Amino acid sequence: MTRTLLLRGMLVGLVAGLVVFAFARWTAEPQVDRAVAFEASMDQAKGESPEPAMVSRKIQRGIGLLTGAVVYSSALGGIFGLVFAFSQGRFAVSSPRALALWIAGLGFISVALIPSLKYPANPPSVGSPETIGMRTATYFLAIALSLATMTLSLQLARRLTRRFGVWNGSLLAVFLFVFLTVTLSSFLPVIDEVPQAFPASLLWKFRIASWEMQFLLWGTLGVLFGWLTERDGNTHTLVR
């Protein structure tokens, strides 16, 4: 069963990657082109020639974007399937669709939303090349801390609901997650490398598009995985 859910998650992730790729070509890539043009204009204003790109924009927005979206989404889908297999029977969610959506919602919050509130996505020309290693490490650290606080809150939620009831226990678990997230994130370094002349509207649109792509990815995983799993369960019931 675990192997089946793993493969199903990877297949659903592949589909989600194609959906995200199409959406990114429509919403995010125009913002990237504007950011690249801004960077070129800044270099021209300084009298500097733009650095030659190692990979052309045509490849970046085409096969490069497609490969990155599909590989990332397929791997994430496999992890999603394993988490679903682990979660079955451990939480008070009986329907496969409800469980899949529940996992997708928590995954979006802990992996995508919370870390991006501390370190939001930035388009090209934002960020110094000298700090890329540090910025990458702190972002993954933010994801790890968010996942750890989410896991701890879920574990305590089961005990809190038994003691204080579902409503009060759930509220206490949510409060604990928010409190731990805010406290731990305050110890992470502040990174602000946005050039002063960078268009605020461009930065905002790019970050909104990034959140939309993450929401679309996790939403597709939750809806499609839950539908396939519930359909497979109904088929098995009919066969028996």
Domain boundaries, the chain: 2-126+198-239, 128-193
Residue 43 pLDDT: 61
What is residue 211's predicted lDDT score, i.e. its pLDDT? Answer: 94
Handedness of CA 27, 33, 35, 38 (dihedral sign): negative
Alpha-carbon dihedral angle through residues 37, 39, 199, 212, given to the nearest 10 degrees: 70
> Is 101 in contact with 80 (CB distance < 8 Å)?
no
Q: Are 125 and 203 in contact (CB under 8 A)?
A: no
pLDDT at 199: 83
The whole-model pTM stands at 0.86
80, two tokens: 């999603």
Q: Which of 225, 235, 220, 219 is nearest to 96 (CA)?
A: 225
Give me the sign of the Cα torsion angle 178, 179, 182, 187. negative
Give 3-state DSSP helix, strand, coil % of the chain, rounded to 5.
80, 0, 20
Element housing 107 (H / E): helix 96-107
Decide: 12 and 190 in contact? Cβ < 8 Å: no
Residue 129 burial class via C-beta count within 10 angstroms: exposed 0-12, middle 13-18, buried 19 and up: exposed
What pLDDT does residue 236 have?
A: 46
Residue-by-residue pLDDT tens, the chain, 240 positions:
788 999 999 999 999 999 999 999 888 888 888 887 777 776 666 666 556 666 676 777 788 889 999 999 999 999 999 999 988 877 767 788 999 999 999 999 999 999 999 999 888 777 777 788 888 899 999 999 999 999 999 889 888 888 888 888 889 999 999 999 999 999 999 888 887 878 888 888 889 999 999 999 999 999 999 999 988 765 444 333
Question: What is the structure's pLDDT at 187?
Answer: 93
Who contacts 69 (Cβ-Cβ below 8 Å, separation ≥6)? Answer: 17, 18, 20, 21, 24
Tell me, what's the pLDDT at 200? 85
Instruction: Please tell me the distance from the alpha carbon of residue 175 to that of residue 180, in angstroms, as a whole number.
Output: 9
The letter for the amino acid at 46 is K
Dihedral sign from CA coordinates of 164, 168, 172, 173: positive
